[in-house]
């Protein structure tokens, strides 16, 4: 073997070893041996699905529970909690993470920009008031959320250095084609304002998750054609009992939307 060939072989081997070393441990082991921890807000705790329990409204019918049931990992723990923000995630949800954690999933950021209050305001107010409320939320997004997301993602990586981390986005809530939409009569203008805000939030989450070395899974394709007021919605509209289910995925949304997006990210 010539010196040139030997050098080339060494370079190829070095590159392969670097790739292997950089691959999360979860990728090298079967899912039945994974330790899985679900973090995040109500979209990860399972609000909107049946079987919610406790103050955090966790349900086995949210996407983490469905993934656990389908894959039977070695361990599974959900500490996701309805109403969670990046701050509460960092202070109350990181304790199950260890060097041995193989998979972490989360949705976070919606409550930091006032998701719930914004949608409720839009339901009850005028088109112009809705647009102004969304604009205010986007100002928070543009000035505060990069640092908040970066801090949360850094903490997760520090506590679970070997894990595959999948950050999932939020669906575009509303169908924009139906002439009328729900009990509150959400106008097309209001729906467009809310949807544009959700799209901008997803863009920032995707950018910061990628910068952290995490996998971002965009759920908008899965939910396309299934927004609130579509013919077959995968999201709850304004709900009276329980009110907390409002504007969250229903059973089809978690199974055919979020779970499908998570599986695609892991394949």
Dihedral over Cα of 237, 240, 246, 252: its sign: negative
Indicate the length of the chain as a whole number: 267
Dihedral over Cα of 145, 49, 225, 64: its sign: positive
Q: Is 226 a catalytic residue?
A: no
| Rounded distance between C-alpha atoms, residue 35 and residue 48, angstroms | 26
The tokens for 125 are: 């107010």
| Rounded distance between C-alpha atoms, residue 47 and residue 71, angstroms | 22
The answer to whether 56 and 252 have CB atoms below 8 angstroms apart is no
Out of 44, 193, 217, 248, pick the active-site residue: 248
The answer to whether 204 and 141 have CB atoms below 8 angstroms apart is yes
Q: Please return the burial class of 120, using the count of CB atoms within 10 Å of its CB with bins 0-12, 13-18 and 19+.
A: middle
**Kindly report the CA angle at 47 between 43 and 52, in degrees rounded to 5?**
140
The tokens for 9 are: 């072989």
Out of 42, 44, 59, 217, pick the active-site residue: 42
Q: Where are the beta strands (DSSP E) in 55-204?
A: 75-78, 103-106, 164-168
- Where is 248: in which H helix or E strand? none
Residue 203: which residues within 8 A CB-CB, separation 6 or more?
Answer: none
Classify strands 215-217 and 164-168 as parallel, antiparallel or unpaired: parallel
Query: What are the catalytic residues?
Result: 42, 248
């Amino acid at each position: 073997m010539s010196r040139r060939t030997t050098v080339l072989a060494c370079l190829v081997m070095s590159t392969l070893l670097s790739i292997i070393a950089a691959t999360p441990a979860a990728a090298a082991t079967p899912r039945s041996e994974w330790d899985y921890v679900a973090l995040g807000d109500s979209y990860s705790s399972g609000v909107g699905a049946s079987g919610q329990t406790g103050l955090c409204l966790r349900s086995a019918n949210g996407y983490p529970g469905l993934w656990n049931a389908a894959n039977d990992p070695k361990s599974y723990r959900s500490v996701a909690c309805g109403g969670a923000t990046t701050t509460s995630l960092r202070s109350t949800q990181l304790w199950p993470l260890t060097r041995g954690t193989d998979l972490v999933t989360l949705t976070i950021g919606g409550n930091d920009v006032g998701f719930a209050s914004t949608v409720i305001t839009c339901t009850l107010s005028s088109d112009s008031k809705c647009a102004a409320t969304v604009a205010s939320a986007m100002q928070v997004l543009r000035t505060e959320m990069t640092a908040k997301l970066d801090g949360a993602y850094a903490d997760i990586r520090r506590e679970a250095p070997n894990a595959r981390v999948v950050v999932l986005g939020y669906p575009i809530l509303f169908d924009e084609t139906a002439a009328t939409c729900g009990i509150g009569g959400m106008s097309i203008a209001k729906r467009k304002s809310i949807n544009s805000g959700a799209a901008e939030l997803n863009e920032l989450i995707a950018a910061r998750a990628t910068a952290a070395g995490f996998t971002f899974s965009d759920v908008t394709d899965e939910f396309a054609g299934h927004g609130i007021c579509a013919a077959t919605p995968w999201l709850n509209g304004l709900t009276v009992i329980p009110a907390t289910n409002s504007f969250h995925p229903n059973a089809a949304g978690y199974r055919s939307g979020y779970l499908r997006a998570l599986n695609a990210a892991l394949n």
